[in-house]
Every structure is written in C-alpha cells, then in structure tokens.
Amino acid sequence: MTSYQLFIYLDKETEIVIGKLGTFRFPPGQYVYTGSAKRNIDARIKRHQSNNKKRRWHIDYFLLNPHTQILKVIQSGKSECRLNQLTKGEIIVQRFGASDCKSKCGSHLNYVGEIA
C-alpha cells in the first residue's frame, strides 16, 4: 500500500457540491488531500490531475471545480491515515475522502490556510 498527498490551491472562496455529503463553502488557500492506492499509484495520481473524468470520489468534485489546481504531489510509504494525521490543518468537510477510514481521522482533506 502506498499513500500520497495532493497539495491543492483554491484561488477564491467557492461553494462546491461534494456528492452526497452536500454543498460546502470552501475558503481560499491551500488544502492537502491524503489518499492511497493498493496498486498503480501513478495511474491514480494521473487521474486526479485529469479534468476528463466522471465524478466518483469526493476529491473528484473538488478537483473538477475550475478554481482548484494541484500544486504538488508527494508519495509516502506511511499508511494513509498516519500520513493524514501528521498533516496540520482544519477540517472543512467531515468524512471527506474518509468514508472507509477506521482511524478516526475525521476527514482526509485538510485546509492549511492562505499561502503567505
């Protein structure tokens, strides 16, 4: 299992529908999304970077909004939840990307704040 993080920038305050979770108002600034792929992590990351996809995961709804852009991607050997819990930030949407989370992360999307 390999995990990864997407560093995402939202350029203005934006209301985004996140599937069945509902509609949320996201403050501008940087977000960190933590995910994992059992195999072919490169294909997963390419998918995140593509705008040509159906909305399947919570993160798809976020990334397909034209005000978001991926700034950076990192990979890690740490478990998804461990990596997520090492990331400081604020939760905007409870359960975002964490439907299967058994480690009480709260959310796998963290709002880091404005970039200075």
Angstrom distance (rounded) from CA 100 to CA 106: 11
Nearer CB in complex with Zn ion: 81/93: 81
- Across the strands, what pairs with 49? none
Least spacing, CB of residue 105 vs Zn ion, in Å: 3
Least spacing, CB of residue 67 vs Zn ion, in Å: 26
Q: Which 57-86 residues touch Zn ion, going by CB under 5 A?
A: 81
DSSP letters for 29-91: EEEEEEEEESS-HHHHHHHHH-SSS---SHHHHHHTSTTEEEEEEEEESS-HHHHHHTS--B-
Chosen residue from 33, 105, 109, 111 binding Zn ion by CB under 5 A:
105
The reply to whether 101 sits near Zn ion by the rule CB under 5 A is yes
Residues within the interface to Zn ion (CB under 5 A) = 81, 101, 103, 105
